[in-house]
A = this chain, B = another copy of it.
Amino acid sequence: MKYKVLNKNSVINYIYEIKEIADYFGTDEVEAKEIGDGNLNFVYIVSSLQNKNKSLIVKQAVPYLRCVGEDFPLSRERMTYEIRALTKFKKITSKFIPKLYHTSEQMSVVVMQYLDEHIILRGGLIDKKIYPNFSDHISTYLARVLFYTSSLALQSCDKRELIDEFNGNVELCKLTEDFVFTFAFMENETNDNENVKNNPLANMLFDDMEFKEKVLELKYKFMTQTDALIHGDLHTGSIMLNKDETYVIDPEFAFVGPFGFDIGALLSNLVNNYVHHHIVTGDQEYKKWLLKTIEEMLKMFDEKFFDLWDAQENSSLILDGYIDDSALEKYKSKFLTNILRDSVGFAGCKMARRVFGVAGVEEIRGIKDKGLRAKAEKMILQIAREFVLKYDSINSIEQIIEIIER
A positions within 8 Å CB-CB of B: 151, 156-157, 159-160, 163-164, 167-168, 170, 173-174, 177, 182, 185-187, 209-210, 212-213, 216-217, 219-220, 223-227, 316-319, 321-324, 326-328, 330-331, 334
Contacts and interface: CB of A to CB of B under 8 A. Distances in A.
18 contacts: A151-B223, A156-B170, A160-B168, A160-B170, A164-B164, A177-B316, A182-B319, A209-B326, A212-B327, A213-B327, A213-B328, A216-B317, A216-B318, A216-B331, A223-B316, A224-B227, A225-B225, A225-B226
B187 A160 contact: no
A307 to B, nearest CB: 20
A87 B65 CA distance: 38
- The A interface, classified by DSSP as helix, strand, loop or mixed, is helix
A209 B327 contact: yes
A219 to B, nearest CB: 6
Contacts of A226: 224-226
A210 B322 contact: no
Contacts of A160: 167-168, 170, 173
Contacts of A174: 156-157, 316
A327 B225 contact: no
Contacts of A187: 321
A322 B225 contact: no
What is the copy number of this chain in the assembly?
2
A191 to B, nearest CB: 13
Contacts of A331: 213, 216-217
A156 B173 contact: yes
Given A213-B323, A216-B318, 8 more contacts: A156-B174, A209-B327, A212-B323, A213-B327, A216-B323, A216-B331, A223-B317, A225-B226
Q: Which 8 A-B pairs have the closest CB atoms?
A: A209-B327, A157-B170, A156-B174, A224-B226, A213-B327, A213-B331, A151-B223, A160-B170
Nearest to A159: B223
Contact of A225 (B159, B182, B224, B318): B224
Contacts of A324: 209
A186 to B, nearest CB: 5
Contacts of A322: 182, 185-186, 212
Nearest to A187: B321
A150 to B, nearest CB: 8
Nearest to A185: B322
B167 A210 contact: no
Contacts of A157: 170, 174
A328 B331 CA distance: 33
A243 to B, nearest CB: 38
B319 A186 contact: yes
Contacts of A316: 174, 177, 223
Contacts of A219: 317
Contacts of A321: 186-187
A140 B69 CA distance: 48
Looking at A157, A182, A327, the one whose CB has the most chain B CB atoms below 10 A away is A327
A100 B219 CA distance: 38
A163 B209 CA distance: 31
Contacts of A220: 151, 317
A323 B209 contact: yes
A46 to B, nearest CB: 36
Looking at A159, A164, A216, A226, the one whose CB has the most chain B CB atoms below 10 A away is A216
Contacts of A182: 319, 322
B210 A327 contact: yes
A164 B321 CA distance: 33
Contacts of A330: 213
Contacts of A328: 213
Contacts of A186: 319, 321-322
A216 B328 CA distance: 10
